[in-house]
Amino acid sequence: MNQTHRALRGTLVGVILGAALTLAGCASPAPQPTSMRDPAANFGAYKTFGWDDGARTDASGQAQPLSLVENNIRTAIASELKKRGYEEAAAGATPDLLIDYEAARAEKLKNNPIRVGVGVGSWGGNTGGSVGVSSSGVKNVTEGTLVIHAVDPARKAEVWQGRVARELGKGGAEPAVVNSAVAEVFRDFPARAQP
């Protein structure tokens, strides 16, 4: 290999490493779910959960029917709580934990950063390289946010709160998206000790 090929190869390796480091620094990860827990709460004492339906009544106090999305959210939350050893309270019984949630969707602008691609190749005694650059752009996306609350009705205090946001596709809040988001936000929810 002659001096020119070595110099070209060294330059291309430097360009590749520089571009990789630049792109790694520009990449922004998806927002992570967050949760907060009351340190005074004794999760070992909680066995059952139920739904706080107080906010889902009309002016006359009549319960409002659940939408398809709300039903998907409740099913996903109940599944995660049951996986952690909690049982749904029987109708009319006072649960140890009241579960409530808020769901919202908002239109947001998503910025697509400039992307740089680098390619290097060699065949025989020939070495070549290429650099490609795409332009940045902005597009409208729909983002869904879900906030879940666990309240101790005996203490009248919130003992856990989880929050997750996801970009929704054209189909909206599909059950698979809801299940995945709820599973992620419940990662930090305390499991019951099994007897």
Boundaries of domain holding 50: 3-188
Q: What CATH number has the domain bearing residue 72? A: 3.30.160
pLDDT tens for each residue of 12-31: 444 444 444 444 444 445 56
Q: How many folded domains does the chain comprise? A: 1
193 within domain boundaries: no
195 within domain boundaries: no
153 within domain boundaries: yes
Cα gap 95→87, rounded to integer Å:
9
24 within domain boundaries: yes
pLDDT tens for each residue of 145-154: 899 999 999 9
Cα gap 188→44, rounded to integer Å:
15
Cα gap 76→180, rounded to integer Å:
9
Cα gap 78→158, rounded to integer Å:
18
Q: Sign of the CA dihedral 37, 38, 43, 48?
A: negative
Q: What is the pTM for the complete model shown?
A: 0.67
Residue of 141, 147, 158, 150 whose CA lies nearest to 182: 147
